[in-house]
Structure formats: C-alpha cells, structure tokens
Amino acid sequence: MSVLTVAEKIAIENQFQELLHVSTFIRSGKDRDTIRKAFDLANEAHSNMRRKSGEPYIIHPLCVSRIVVEEIGLGTTSVVSALLHDVVEDTNYTLDFIREQFGEKVAAIVDGLTKISGVFDNNSSLQAENFRKMLLTLSDDVRVILIKLADRLHNMRTLDALSPEKQIKIAGETIFLYAPLAHRMGFYSIKQELEDLSLKYRHPKIYVDIVNLLKDNEERRNEVLREFMAPVRQKLEENHYRFEMTGRPKSIYSIYYKMQHKGVPFEEIYDLNAVRIVFEPDLDISEKRQCWNIYAIITDIYTPKQDRIRDWVSTPKANGYEALHITVMGNDGKWVEVQIRSRRMDDIAEKGFAAHWKYKGVVSSESELDKWLRKIKDSLKDPDSDVLEFIDDFKLNLFANEIQVFTPKGQIKTLPQKATALDFAYEIHSGIGNTAIAAKVNHKLVPLNHILLSGDQVEIITSDKKRTQREWMSEVVTTKAKTSIKNNMKAETHNRVENGKRLLEQKLRENNVAPNSRVMHKLLEAYDTQTKEELYSKIGMDIITLDDLPKVLKKNSKNKWIRYWQLQLFGVKSRQEHPGKQAPAGENVQPEYRIALCCNPIPGDDVIGYLSAKDGIVHIHKSRCPNAVKLLSSYAEAIVPVKWTTYKVFSYLVKIEIQGIDRPDIYLRIISKITEELNVNIRTFNLASHDGIFEGTIELYVHDTKDVEELIKKLKELKGVESVKRLEMLDQSKEEV
C-alpha cells in the first residue's frame, strides 16, 4: 500500500484544475460536476497505486484526459470515460457501478477500453486479440479508439520507466499498429509523435544521431526557411490573404525512413524542410480555388517539381485529410515541400476524425472515413477468423492511398491503390468474387489480376462452376477480398491438414517412432517446410510422399548456422540437446536457435529472438526486419532478448551496392582491394557502365559487421568510387514464425 504525500495530493488537484481549464467545451455546471465526480472516483480507486515511474497512478488518466481534450478535441463524455478507463480493469469497481453512476454511454466506452481477460489458444496473441476486440467497438462508439490512441500516446511519452525489453515490445506494437491507426483516423501530429517515440526506443542510437544532426544545422536551416518564406509572405499579403505560415523540418522518423528506404545518409536528404500555409477562407470563393490561387502565387516565385504535386483538395484521403502539397526548388538549390490548407482543413488534419463532427454538413454527408469504418465492421463479422491474419491485413490497409472506380451503372467504389479487378468483385459481393472468371475494364476484357486506375469502369464476369483459387491471395490487396478467399479455402485446407497429420502419424507408428518436437524439427528440416501445418498440408496433397521417412528419421539433424557461431539468449530455459547433436567444444549448451531467412543477420547486427510456439526454436531476426516488427506486436511475450557473444571464423553472405565514375581499370582495382588487401571472397560481381558512370552490386562473404564497415571504408578510398552501402537483403516472403 502506498500513501500519497501532501505535495502529491496538491499536484494531483492542480492537474485536475488544469484539465478543467483546457476543457473549453464545458457549458454548464452539470458537465463540470460530472467530470469532478469521475475524477473523484478514479482518484479514490487508484489511491494506493503507483506507476513504474513511482508517480501516483491517477496522473496517467489525468494526462490521457488532457490529450483527449487538447490534441483530439473530444467532449465531456470522452473526458469522463478517459478518467475512468482503467478503473474497472485495475480496481474492484464494476461496470454496472459505472453504468449506474455515469450512464450507458460512458459504461459502453469504459467497457471497450477495458483490457480483455481470458485465455486464448496458443496460436493466438493476447495483444492481437485485444486490438481486434477493441476495433469491434467501432460499430458502437468510435470514441473508444480515440481514447485508446490517447492512452497509447501517454504510455509512449512515459516509456522511460520500463525495462529495455518492455520498451522494445511496446514500441514495436506502436509502430506496427497504433501509428498507422492514428494516420488512418487523421491524427497526423499524434501519428508523427508515435513514430518518433517508437524509433527512440527501437533504435536509440539512430534516433539520437538524427536529433543531433538536426540540432547541428538548425540555425542554418531556420535562416534558409526565413529567406524562402519572405517573398511568399509578401505576395500573400499583397493579395489580402489572412494566413499563418510556419516552417519545420521533417519528423525524425520520416528522415530515418527515407535514409533506410533510399539508402542515403542524412546529408543527402535534400527535402528536409517543409512549410505550411493555413489561410482563413473567403466565404465567397471555394476553398479549392483559393488553394490553387496560392499555388499560383508560390510557383510564380519558385519552380515546382511536377511529379510531387499532391492534390488532396479535389479528392480527399479516406481519413478526410484535405490539402494541396507541392514541392518547389528554393534559392539554395534544395527542395522545399509546401502544404496549403484552409483553417477547416487544418482542423481536420490536426484533430482528425473528431473534427468531422464539427464540420458535419460543410462537406459531404458521408466521408470516406465513414465508409472505411463500415468496411471494418464487415471485416469483423467472422468471430472464428484468424486473429493475426486479420491484424496483418488490417494493418496493410491502414496506410493505403485510394482510387475511385465505377460499376457499370455508375456507382462509385473506393479501393486502395493497386487494387485489382478481383478486389472490385469482392467489394461488390463475396459471391461475385468467389465465382469471378474475368472482368471488363472500360469495356475491354482483362484478367482478374488487372490493376485498376482511378476512373475505370469495371464489370465482373462470373461462372457458377468457378471455384476460389489459392493463387488469388497474391492477386488482391483489400482485407475484404483476402478474408473472403481465406474463409472459402478454410474448410478445404483443414481437411487437407487433418488428412496429412493422420498419414504422418500412421507412418511414424509403422516405424515405432513417437511424434515429439525433436522428430518434428527433423522432419521440417528434411522436407524444407517452416511449420507443422505446412508439412501436414503437403503430405495431404501428396507433394510429400514420406517414402524416405525411415532414412530421414535416422539422419542426424544438422543446422549449418548453429555450428559456427554463438548467441546468448536471455529469459529462455535451456532444453535438452537433441541426441547425437554435439555442442561446440568448450561452450555451454543453449536453447536451439535458427537464423531467420527473411533478413539473414550476421554477427554484429542488432538482433532479437522469437521463441516459436510451433517448433520451440528461437528464430533470430534483425531488429529492424519488417517481420520482427510484426512479431514484436503480435507475439510480444515470445520475444527473447539476444546478443552476439562468441563466434567461430565463418563467412556470411552480404550484398553491397557501389556507384562511381567510370575510370580505366576501376573494376580491377575494386576486385584487387576486396580480394588482396581485405582478403574477402567474392560470390557475384555485377557492375555495369553507362554514360561515364558505373553502378551495380557485389555479393561477398564476411565474418561480421566490422568486416563490412572496413570493406565500405576501404572501397570509398578508391579514386572514382562515389558511394558504397550495404543492402539489407530483406525477403518478407520468407518469415520464420
């Protein structure tokens, strides 16, 4: 039991008074009294509780409520619900009591926010199941999601108090699900902060490096922005616009993302700066026209980059975002992004979904976000669907840009970019999709995997004899289509797996072998399968015949990776090594682990381990591998902290990209530097010259990341070599789970 000090009680009351002060929506004493009543109840319920940081627990719901008011823009019911959001979960107060004291709406929201308790099957994930059930509340009250975002944001802001392992798990879940969800709901500032904070804990060194680099050139960057904005400001004032213009750098995460995906250092990111213009609209002129008028003023001063114009004024994003984005060349020879918004557009961009209520009737009666919410309800209808598959598909659709296509009768359907005719078929009805055989796009016959463009008119051709095909999964992008295809194949797959399992168990009995994890691992390795289900399925389909089963069972299991290096795993109990398998001399026996094929980490890379419930093996991923981020979110409790300890002299394959000026003998000098001076073996050498430039890739064998760093450093010393970088060689199609 923890008693509050007098100073803490005063601080808590002061924070509550600050909450009332920022709650400008309060119009009556009744609202104020209700909020006070909720605070008093929460304060009493959490009076003996403290957070990991040591501060009184009530500070958390107070801070969440502040976010709900100031950063999301919700009202009394939401503030009351935010204050009470942990009461039912963490204390003895019941939901019925909340309903009796505060009414049905507050009780429903608190119920949605209460963590789901209970036991789920071993193949599921508590985090994923909670997230899915949270989304179910969309059909009742979207405020549950908004308060949940506020809760996650405050937890991320106070993550310092947790252990590094917990920080990585929560940060991974945040970047995988909550940041995309904030984006989809239209909360760009919250999305940006969640991304930055996630980066801070997932890759702290990279985060600090970028922060320091931004600080180092902050003064010069601000001067450049002032010089850029001055003539624009003058012209806007001459044209009698009432506006605010601000300059800012890209977010830390967006800089990191660009460095990773374009493979460039910080110094080579040329569009670090962004300018935002928010204008008070003239009610006699459409906001769209005023945005383009401002565009004309800016491009009279600076040259625009034509392929970087983003017109979300004519066609808003699905989350309701409206703005005109342009990129122009500044006087210093660097690109600057300019965002043009009306005051209403800016409110929606900053307050997201909540702002739609304020402007209901100003824009169309049903926004694209409303339609998206309806689609989510449809996707959640099947309670037996695989939770992790749902979360994976849902996440894929969070960031999707949209296209608009037409039915033969002219009805508009909104789909993600890269949607196919088959996606369109399932968008119409699952029955249409299941029986589709082809499509007509703009009256021209096309296959079902034809990618649609905005403005296409689509007609689906069906046949009652047509059956769903497994290959269709790679030809659709929408959650609705994927879910329908999976449901149709589920019964067939189940029967095939059960048949394969029965056949395998029968064969094992004939060989007097009991099925166990050691045997199963040996079979998975021998038949090149990743999971038991895949093995059973291939047996059921006669792809694997088991004719050589006796030979496979007698063969000693050899994992080429484990023989040559050692990792230290924390928090995993060692298991008995397989009979016949020898641990390296002089080293302790460790739990069995395997390098993930999707990212192929080498000694020195930052790595995490994932303890698979299916095969009992710890799978080693690079910490920034996309599959690792997914695992952090979906199987947080199965993540194992690992670090490289000792490893033998063994070579690992890496790929580098090299570019430079074509000079006589440049290839010979590169090969000589690699093989003679650095003593590194080359696997492939693929360079080509054109127009005085050479570029390409080299695959070679190294011992660890230090070898790679030394190699890159030495190659950059060669005259004519302009850039050298290691390629990640990520393959998300190969995932170790």
Task: Concatenate the DSSP letters of all residues of 403-453 into one string.
Answer: EEEE-TT--EEEEETT-BHHHHHHHH-HHHHHTEEEEEETTEEE-TTPBP-
Indicate the domain borders of the chain: 6-202, 208-358, 565-647, 652-727
Cβ contacts of 457 within 8 Å, gap of 6 or more: 405, 406, 407, 408, 410, 441, 442, 443
CA 125, CA 379: separation in Å to the nearest integer?
A: 19
CA 83, CA 259: separation in Å to the nearest integer?
A: 40
**Residue type at position 653:** L
Under 8 Å between Cβ of 377 and 138:
yes
CA 493, CA 500: separation in Å to the nearest integer?
A: 10
Determine the length of the chain. 737
Q: Per residue in 39-55, is it b (16+ CB within 10 Å) or e — as a string?
A: bebbbebbbeeebeeee
Under 8 Å between Cβ of 174 and 194:
yes
Tell me how crowded residue 294 is: count the other CB atoms within 10 A of its CB: 23
Look at residue 621 in the predicted model and tell me its pLDDT.
87
In the block, tokens 């001076």 appear at 677
Q: What is the DSSP string of 657-697?
A: EEEEE--TTHHHHHHHIIIIIS--EEEEEEEEEETTEEEEE
Parts of the chain with a pLDDT under 70: 1-2, 115-141, 318-319, 352-401, 465-467, 491-492, 555-591, 633-634, 645-651, 729-737
Under 8 Å between Cβ of 616 and 575:
yes
pTM: 0.60
Look at residue 99 in the predicted model and tell me its pLDDT.
93
Look at residue 513 in the predicted model and tell me its pLDDT.
82
Instruction: Please calculate the CA angle 156-52-119 and round it to the nearest 5 degrees.
Output: 80
Q: Tokens for 71? A: 């950063």
Q: Of 55, 90, 282, 392, which one is the catalytic site residue? A: 90
Q: Of 89, 332, 498, 709, which one is the catalytic site residue? A: 89
Cβ contacts of 25 within 8 Å, gap of 6 or more: 31, 69, 75, 76
Under 8 Å between Cβ of 654 and 624:
no
- CATH number for 652-727 (one of 3.30.479.30, 1.20.210.10, 3.30.70.260, 3.40.1190.10): it is 3.30.70.260
CA 176, CA 435: separation in Å to the nearest integer?
A: 34
What CATH homologous superfamily does 208-358 map to? Answer: Beta Polymerase, domain 2 (3.30.460.10)
Q: What is the DSSP string of 522-550?
A: HHHHHTT-SSHHHHHHHHHTTSS--TTHH
* β-bridge mates for residue 69, sequence order: none
Look at residue 409 in the predicted model and tell me its pLDDT.
83
CA 429, CA 457: separation in Å to the nearest integer?
A: 17
Under 8 Å between Cβ of 304 and 340:
no
Q: How many CA atoms lie within 13 A of 412 on its CB side?
A: 8
CA 629, CA 174: separation in Å to the nearest integer?
A: 10
CA 580, CA 594: separation in Å to the nearest integer?
A: 18
Instruction: Please calculate the CA angle 455-459-461 and round it to the nearest 5 degrees.
Output: 155
Residue 525 annotated as catalytic: no
Look at residue 117 in the predicted model and tell me its pLDDT.
31
Look at residue 372 in the predicted model and tell me its pLDDT.
57
CA 80, CA 65: separation in Å to the nearest integer?
A: 8
Q: Tokens for 107? A: 């009780």
Residue 90 annotated as catalytic: yes
Domain over 6-202 is classified CATH 2.60.40.10: no
Under 8 Å between Cβ of 722 and 597:
no
Under 8 Å between Cβ of 694 and 662:
yes
